[in-house]
Amino acid sequence: MNRSHIEDLHDDGNVAAACEDALRVSGLEAWYGESHILHGVDLRAARGEVVTLLGRNGSGRSTTLKAIMGLTDTRSGSVRIDGRETIGRQPQDVARLGVGYCPEERGIFAGLSCEENLLLPPRLPGAKGTPMSLEEIYAMFPNLAERRASQGTRLSGGEQQMLAIARILRTGANVLLLDEISEGLAPVIVQTLARVIRLLKARGFTILLVEQNFRFAAPLADRFYVMEHGRIVDAFESARLAEKTATLQALLNI
């Protein structure tokens, strides 16, 4: 798919519609040192939408999330959160606009209990979302309620992943960047995470999901972007997923 066709999928020429985007990325370039990783990435996520970024390992998907947050060495282009430009801002300033980033490594504090990890992050002053209470968190993640007194790193991998997401929900972030949250987890935990994403979508959260697990992402997303070599090479809505499946299977080795 050429660039103009991809742009047509996220720019209908309607200024009012563009204002409904919680996240809009245009011409995003990113570098680690002298290594040029992202090349003109364009994508968007409307409010309350789940958008999945697919691609092989090393295609630039995780770097895209880091560049949105301002965590790459250098970036250029445009990243707008609820219409506000963030290029040139520090990562903490991007977070304060209501962006929650859940990296692959999760970042659980070993010396704190599960509940202490949950209580740690403050409310984001510029976030439009409402911070979830502990009661809401425990209702959404019953496993965490059972393990609230357990040391963070004594939780299972799946429980740590739940904790990493839950901790973000305590801040009031309403735009979530989730990186490979299903990787290496048992099927029952993956099902739990899928249920959580559906609940969050129903509550109006905007989610950009980086995934290698196509079977996990396919039923959740409203739209899909496909990356290769730091570029968006295809973009389509969920209604076209069936016609794209064969191509995706070849690309993702699924």
pLDDT, mean of residues 172-188: 93
Report the mean per-residue pLDDT for the chain.
89
Into how many domains does the chain fold?
1
What percentage of residues in the chain have a pLDDT greater than 70? 90
pLDDT digits 0-9 by tens, 30-47: 999 999 999 999 999 999
Q: What's the domain range around 116? A: 3-252
- Long-range contact list for 68-71, CB < 8 A, 24+ apart? 68/23, 68/25, 68/28, 68/94, 68/99, 68/177, 68/208, 69/94, 69/95, 69/99, 69/101, 69/177, 70/94, 71/101
For residues 125-153, average pLDDT:
88
Does residue 9 have a pLDDT over 60? no
Stretch 61-68: mean pLDDT: 97
pLDDT attached to residue 126: 64
Q: Answer whether residue 62 shows pLDDT above 50.
A: yes
Supply the CATH number for residue 146's domain: 3.40.50.300
Query: 250 or 91: whose pLDDT is higher?
Result: 91
